[in-house]
Structure 1
């Protein structure tokens, strides 16, 4: 009998980026939406991109195929099934409602589909799913602020956080300070992207808004003072190794900054980011993290430390991790076992 997979937590996954090519083609055809390579279902053809900026353009073309409550519900349930096969017990899914609204979908359609999908995902696959909608740095300020209001409306239906994504050079995070304030005042934690394709200054700017976590944040490895601040403030970074390689913000795995982050005492969760677009899954990301000195028990503990859920949910998730990894591994990231010196792949 095959042993069940180790329990895993994932805090950084864009739900629109989990849709496998065959599913996306089916949805696009049903909704009469063209795709870049509409006739070929292969991953490499449909999700072909050359660098980070090109990836964002492909993202915009493909995710616009999602239009209905059923589309959004299916996205969550399908990914929960996939993640469960990798051992996921808790997910925080990102979605981008304002981008859909800007193209004619109403707010309630998007939020209802995702929140109903989260409930169904737990019922069918045993994965607790919570949600963290985000805004793009290219959005008009007014639309971003309305997105924050809508996110707060769904706080009692599993929406726990509010994020910021898109190209870091498009606009400073400060442009969306009012949207952040609406979300924070409404009880949502802030979980912005920063320090992915941009440098440490992007992470520093995000820290001014008191984030619970920073998505990516890997550029902080270049700044010892910033690393110390992240450690002292207990800000968790959501690290996605394959994503960084596929978008070419990191040239190869041997030069990924995760070992430097860990050596500095920064807590790092592990995520897939856009698993269908990057041809990866949660098993692969945990394995890559382990190769960089971050073993599964430590990654689970980091995910638990960064999770935005209530304490009852946290205790239930911790119990599932403890049953496999042992109690010490879920007490805190520092308690999780780790090598004395993170090893580099191929070294």
Structure 2
């Protein structure tokens, strides 16, 4: 059955051999990225070690194409990929060059592998909100090249959302869907904050299980959650025996299934779908949620519905 993946950080999809090749080409030390994470903050620190190796538009193009090829092997027909521009690198090569690299990759991915790739760049909590606005403005400039959404990531719960809302509003006012990370490291109020800012979809959102009224609201509004089971388990927010996705689906909340950072977790899309099935999410339900949450245009949606 065809699969839709809505939550994949391209920077976290780079397999070790490719990361080594990119680091050497850019004359950087080859990173030794551990796979044992103490918590989300430690994971982000290690994730930054990986992303520091990606320095050129061609690096960005390559990792998009490579992941599309991998995802195709696991049935993916549509992927919404995330990338998080680094301020220092953006100053060095320019945000437009970064965006163009990812967009070139999305176009090549469909041509080479037949996988539809759309892009959802993001700002991150703890960064300069002014830089976040610059990222939003660049994202809007690339709407006609596959950018469909704009997100908010970073150390949830440590930094408030409010300073980053102007960039989110700007993106939404110019036609991009909003896809913030929320409800992972922080509780239900984080999800409510994202809904107040106009989120089209919530990345993670699993702590919403602690608020029955919120669950009812999300089910009624058909708010889709991007659930990444292994990521939640490895970072200490769930266990295989007690993962919130079971209760979320039981409450009628639409839950798509994604890998988050597959190279860093040592997993793939088939692994996540198998784990989700054990937790009560069928292939049909995952596809329905993915289709409902996808930010693509209606022509692309019709293509997916026919698969």
Task: Report the TM-score when normalising by structure 1.
Answer: 0.86
Q: Which residue of the partner structure matches residue 228 of structure 2? A: 240
Q: Which residue of the partner structure matches residue 20 of structure 2? A: 25
Determine if contact 2:90/2:98 at 8 Å carries over to the other structure. Answer: no
* Residues 113-128 of structure 1 aligned to structure 2 (within 5 Å): 113-128=101-116
* Residues 1-347 of structure 1 aligned to structure 2 (within 5 Å): 6-37=1-32, 46-99=34-87, 101=89, 104-250=92-238, 252-320=239-307
Structure 1 unpaired stretches of 5+: 1-5, 38-44, 321-347
User: How far apart in 2 are the matches of 1:46 and 1:273?
Assistant: 17
Structure 2 unpaired stretches of 5+: none
Q: What secondary structure does 1:12 align onto?
A: strand
| Length, aligned pairs only | 307
Determine if contact 2:149/2:177 at 8 Å carries over to the other structure. Answer: yes
1:69 shift after superposition: 1.4
Q: Which has the larger radius of gyration?
A: 1
CA shift in 2, pair 1:300/1:260, >3 Å: same
User: How far apart in 2 are the matches of 1:46 and 1:94?
Assistant: 22
Q: What secondary structure does 1:284 align onto?
A: helix
1:239 shift after superposition: 0.2
Determine if contact 1:21/1:46 at 8 Å carries over to the other structure. Answer: no
1:2-41 deviation digits (Å, cap 9, x = unpaired): xxxx21000000011100011111111211223442xxxx
Determine if contact 2:87/2:131 at 8 Å carries over to the other structure. Answer: no
Q: What secondary structure does 2:134 align onto?
A: helix
Determine if contact 2:151/2:180 at 8 Å carries over to the other structure. Answer: yes
RMSD across aligned positions (CA):
1.3
User: How far apart in 1 are the matches of 2:240 and 2:91?
Assistant: 37
Determine if contact 1:88/1:127 at 8 Å carries over to the other structure. Answer: yes
User: How far apart in 1 are the matches of 2:63 and 2:87?
Assistant: 16
